[in-house]
Amino acid sequence: MIAVRRARPSDAPGIAAVHVAAWRSAYAGILDEAYLSELSEIRLAAFYHRAILDRREGHAVFVAAAGGPDQPRDQPGVEPGIVGFASGGRARRRGLAEGEVETLYILDDYREQGVGRRLMRAMAAHLRAIGCNSALAWVLAGNPSRYFYRRLGGRLAMQEHTSVAGRPVEQVAVLWDPIDTLLAATAPVKEG
């Protein structure tokens, strides 16, 4: 069973491990391999520990935690239970949307199981609760997961170049305006 909940400071090492694994998988061939191989779980854990505690601008971090038979046991470095996470708050850049989903990363073995949808629902509900009526997510144009956001009703709003580790890459902004579009697309589906 996978539970989505607000992150706790003790989740930071697991979040960092997911971040590293997801980046190495999603950005292979897009970002420099040397940069990806040097990603530090220790530095990222410290970053996420601070991020979990930082509530400025409505910032929040949510985790997807597996328990029971879903528990990832064979993945070195992964804090038991953490299989994905999302973070966000008020938009870092004003003008396109009021809220922003800053990160969404899931271990490969847990993709296509509704984990991303549930994390996006948690973020959308949080953004709505802090008064955001629209939301966006920046996605590297070469990221194979970019279509996930479109399936959730997001529309392309902007395209630009940015730099990651000194390498120019193209990114796109996916927009949900109104945010109700995202909430409706991620609503739980009744079974039976």
For residue 190, the model assigns a pLDDT of 67
- Mean per-residue pLDDT for 145-155? 93
For residue 106, the model assigns a pLDDT of 97
For 119, half-sphere exposure in the C-beta direction (CA atoms, 13 angstrom radius) is 31
User: What is the set of domains in the chain, with CATH numbers?
Assistant: 2-132 (3.40.630.30)
DSSP summary character for residue 57: G
Bridge partners (DSSP) of residue 139 are 172
E-strand stretches of the chain: 2-6, 60-66, 82-90, 99-106, 135-140, 155-164, 167-176
Residue 127 or 143, more confident: 127
Q: 């708050």: which residue's tokens? A: 89
Burial class for 73, CB neighbours closer than 10 Å (0-12, 13-18, 19+)? exposed
Q: Which of 1, 8, 11, 21 is nearest to 76 (CA)?
A: 21
Residue 155 or 165, more confident: 155
> What digits encode the pLDDT tens for the residues 98-113?
999 999 999 999 999 9
pLDDT at 135 over 50: yes
- Given a contact cutoff of 8 angstroms between Cβ atoms, the answer to whether 81 and 71 are in contact is yes
> What digits encode the pLDDT tens for the residues 65-88?
997 544 444 545 444 489 999 999
Q: 């992964």: which residue's tokens? A: 78
Type of residue numbered 51: A
